[in-house]
A and B are shown apart, each in its own frame.
Chain A
Amino acid sequence: MLEQLSWKVGGQQGEGVESTGETFAVALNRQGYYVYSFRHFSSRIKGGHSNDKVRVSLKQFRASADYTDVLLAFDQESIDLNAAEVREGGIVIADEKFKPKAPDHVRLFAVPLTKIAEECGSAIMKNMVSLGASACALGLPVEIFAEVIEERFRRKGQKVVDQNMQAVQRGFDHMKELGGADPEFALKPADGTRRLFMMGNDALGLGALAAGARVMPAYPITPASDVMEYLIKKFPKVGGVVVQTEDEIAAINMAIGAAYGGARAFTCTSGPGLSLMMEAIGLAGMTETPVVIIDTQRGGPSTGLPTKQEQSDMLAALFGTHGEIPKIVLNPATTEECFEVMGKAFNLAEHYQCPVIVMTDLQLSLSKQTTEPLRLDAIEIDRGLIASEEDLPQVAGGEQFNRYQFTESGISARVFPGTKGGIHKVTGVEHSTNGRPNESATNRRKMVEKRARKLAGVEIPDSVVRTGDADADLVVVGIGSNIGSIEEACDRLRADGHKVAHAHIHAILPFPVTQLQQALQGAKTVVVVENNGTGQLRNLMNFFGVHHPNLSSYLRYDGMPILPVEIYDHIKGLL
């Protein structure tokens, strides 16, 4: 019996690959398994190979498996492209219709998916037939799909629900007749706990709601659009508005306007949009306006690899804006953290009155996965220093309100328009304490220092989280969604008798110099793992003065996520 399983469905984009994967994943999640799925797709709507790889296990993994146990193929191309990663003796279930051929190391089961589906009512139900065949191979009862199918097709009537269930059953039966029920592939039963199942983008949207976001201007882009689409559905319930803007420049400027107006506001984009937002991010820094910008990284530059994994916007996030402003960059790694990071991002933005960039990557944003409970009380709302109407007569003393008063912390009270006694000016031009343009050298020096003081010496708590052996010889440094692969590689290395630790970075600005130095202490070897071609994270470590005599990179920049085995093999070669 298996404690974990790797299942993959492949076919032409637009022929139900995604919905097949989703139905399978949701059904297993509801049985109490931990599920992690990754979608391989391209930037076209119909056609082109796509696949959905789903890992099912009794404990949580946050990475795709290195191999595939069961491959469901809707066409020959799916076998040709994916059979190599099917393990020795693994199962390939394919539609008999296209006379499938598979390499010798796998066991091929040609099931008449389309034919059975047609007999059940319609060829489009071939994915249901294939799910039934999968269930048979894995020793799962077909009933696990009943609830999901009922939810998906209820609106179309009971007949459609019944036809789909019948298709699942017939796929199961046919597979059984072919001798496809192998006890070796049966999954150990799970505990039945109904955990959350979501992608990083869902968690970001949910987190934004829980954090009190009220305005979200955004422009559609992969892999960011889910966040705006989610909030468009939810905002009417709680009070709030998503504006689909004409471009990302409008989106960020609107976020600034709404924040100035007194609402929590954020936008969400990917690399190309982040580039367009740079001038306004500087405006937010200069005017000390709190805004949150989510950057769901994809393959760059320009249009790059719009549907593929990459972590190459780090330097842009840190250094893209002209001039010098305080800024915070947070890097969540898991869905749970995507939820909590939104609370943190808004609090930090409003406390320090500066832009906060939250960076995910495509794998984190789009991989649907089992998620531990997300508690509303994990998100606190702290709106920072705001002067109310009652405070104002003494603060303002009859003059214009000193919005940019010099203080020891560099932080000065905000006042929202509409507040009596709080009138002041805000400008991206260098200004005096009341927001009036002021170009004097003395004022300039003082204002530059005021803004810089806000984050001087600050490191965001838990910017680096180290796990593993306290006396590790080797430390792997990683960021974003690579957390799962690194963790798994480290576990295997430990099982081989090596002393290893994993230092994961959850914020790159302010760069966590002391935390990272501490995490590397005692290590003989350091490996920085990241999804880009130049080693941006490693370069940042160098830039900010985190040095180590034996530090090297493991980079992947072909658009694919890093698998645990790659890190394991790479490190084995170093030891």
Chain B
Amino acid sequence: MSTMKDFKAEKPTWCPGCGDFGVLNAMQRAAVALGLEPEDVVVVSGIGCSGKMSQHFGGYGLHSLHGRSLPTAQAVKLANRNLTVFAAGGDGDGYGIGMGHFIHAIRRNIDITYIVMDNHIYGLTTGQASPTSDVGSQTKTSPRGTVERPIEPLQLALSERCGFVAQAFSGDTKHMAQVIERAVRHRGFSLVNVFSPCVTFNKVNSYEFYKEKLVNLDADPAYDCHDRLAAMRRVAEADNLVVGVVYEDTEQPAYDDAVYGYPEEPLAHLEPRLSDAMYEEILATFR
């Protein structure tokens, strides 16, 4: 049985107090709770402060390009379905430069868990506006306040019928760990959007800001997380300020279960050589 220690790598380089510490902690807790072995977990991250997750989490880690964690992570899983695969990155990474991949990853429904550390700002590049920055946010690239409307990740995912949609908060890692654990257990693509405050460049969306406003859907016995339209309504009414599992659809088949001919055995483990008989059969179509 692995413990928290097994999922630790060297000391993270985030600013003290950065919300991403909480995300790392919650991922580690979830991995322990799920009984995973570190060598069977791969974290693929994009570029940003949040992109350092692949370095700091103690499993296999692949730090890819800005905005490209999703295609890369999906393919790691395709190559070896025995692995538990996370994609991780920031709001700019996932909802800006990588937005196209986000929608298509939902459609494709490969069984990975996508964790977005949404701090409403570009952290690593020192404080520019992000696609989730609220209208009026004053940043280096919007000194008079942003004019573009923010992306609403939960609504986007829900409208695209994402099979698992959740939100969490770095100020409550215990709850976040539970959410991530459920996300990993879900067969198919899972989104966990995390309010992960940037204490250096975003003074508005702070721990205090969220603590006051967030509503925990998991603690609401009346909330039915299997009703997609109700979920969209609830998220809209709360102005996106909810945490917990917003929606889960257990009926959708995951990509690897749905694709014709995809084998049980991981592709990476198959014998690469074709048999002579198989080759001859394939070749016959060209005569």
Contact = CB atoms under 8 A, between A and B. Distances in A.
Given A235-B261, A425-B55, A257 B10 contact: no
Interface string A289-328: 0000000000000000000000000000000000000000
A436 B10 contact: yes
Interface string A429-450: 1000001110000000000000
B219 interface: no
A371 B283 CA distance: 12
A197 B76 contact: no
A262 to B, nearest CB: 3
B104 A241 contact: no
A416 B268 contact: yes
A274 to B, nearest CB: 16
Contact of A424 (B60, B263, B266): B60
A246 B100 contact: yes
A89 interface: no
A179 interface: no
B267 A241 contact: yes
Contact of B82 (A258, A280, A418): A418
Nearest to A256: B72
B147 interface: no
Interface stretch (A78-86, A127-135, A204-212, A495-503): A204-212
B79 to A, nearest CB: 3
A239 B71 contact: no
Interface stretch (A9-17, A34-42, A154-162, A247-255): A247-255
Interface string A444-467: 000000000000000000000000
Contact of A253 (B65, B263, B281, B282): B65
B68 A249 contact: yes
B221 interface: no
A374 B39 contact: no
Residues of A contacting B: mostly = mixed
A241 B259 contact: yes
Contacts of B39: 417-423
B76 A258 contact: yes
A542 interface: no
B104 A250 contact: yes
Nearest to A197: B286
A214 B54 contact: no
B113 to A, nearest CB: 15
A416 B104 CA distance: 26
Nearest to A235: B261
Interface string B246-275: 000000000000011111011111101110
Interface string A241-274: 1010111011101111111111111000000000
A239 B75 contact: no
Nearest to B287: A194
B55 A264 contact: no
A202 interface: yes
B65 A214 contact: no
B163 interface: no
B42 interface: yes
A44 interface: no
Contacts of A425: 9, 54-55, 60-63
A575 interface: no
Residue of B76, B263, B270 with highest tally of chain A CB at under 10 A? B76
A interface bracket (residues with beta carbon within 8 Å of B): 35 or more
A427 B60 contact: no
A265 B78 CA distance: 11
Contact of B63 (A235, A376, A421, A429): A429
A279 interface: yes
Contact of B283 (A251, A374, A420): A374
Nearest to A420: B39
A423 B38 contact: yes
B71 A254 contact: yes
B73 interface: yes
A215 B75 contact: yes
B287 A197 contact: yes
Contacts of A417: 39-40, 42, 59-60, 76, 80, 83
A563 interface: no
B78 A261 contact: yes
B74 interface: yes
B44 interface: yes
A236 interface: yes
A427 B55 contact: yes
A215 B100 contact: no
A470 interface: no
B62 A260 contact: yes
A258 B78 contact: yes
A211 B272 contact: yes
B71 A261 contact: no
B283 A253 contact: no
A234 interface: yes
Contacts of A256: 64, 72, 75
B108 interface: yes
A265 B281 CA distance: 23
B65 A416 contact: no
Given A381-B273, A425-B54, A258 B286 contact: no
Interface string B70-100: 1111111111101100000000000000001
Interface in B131-168: none
Contact of B270 (A214, A254, A435): A214
Contacts of A237: 261, 278, 281-282
A144 interface: no
Contacts of B73: 257
B272 A253 contact: no
Given A239-B263, A381-B272, A418-B83, A254 B286 contact: no
B75 A257 contact: yes
B276 interface: yes
Contacts of A371: 286
B80 to A, nearest CB: 5
Given A280-B65, A418-B82, A257 B276 contact: no
A239 B78 contact: no
A254 B74 CA distance: 7
A279 B72 CA distance: 14
Contacts of A206: 282-283, 286
A283 interface: yes
Contacts of A264: 272
B286 A238 contact: no
B71 A253 contact: yes
A207 to B, nearest CB: 11
Contacts of A28: none
A517 to B, nearest CB: 37
18 contacts: A196-B286, A214-B79, A214-B272, A234-B282, A237-B278, A243-B78, A250-B71, A256-B72, A257-B64, A261-B80, A263-B78, A279-B65, A417-B40, A418-B82, A420-B37, A426-B61, A428-B64, A436-B55
Given A256-B64, A425-B63, 10 more contacts: A210-B274, A243-B74, A253-B72, A257-B73, A258-B79, A261-B76, A376-B276, A381-B272, A417-B59, A420-B37
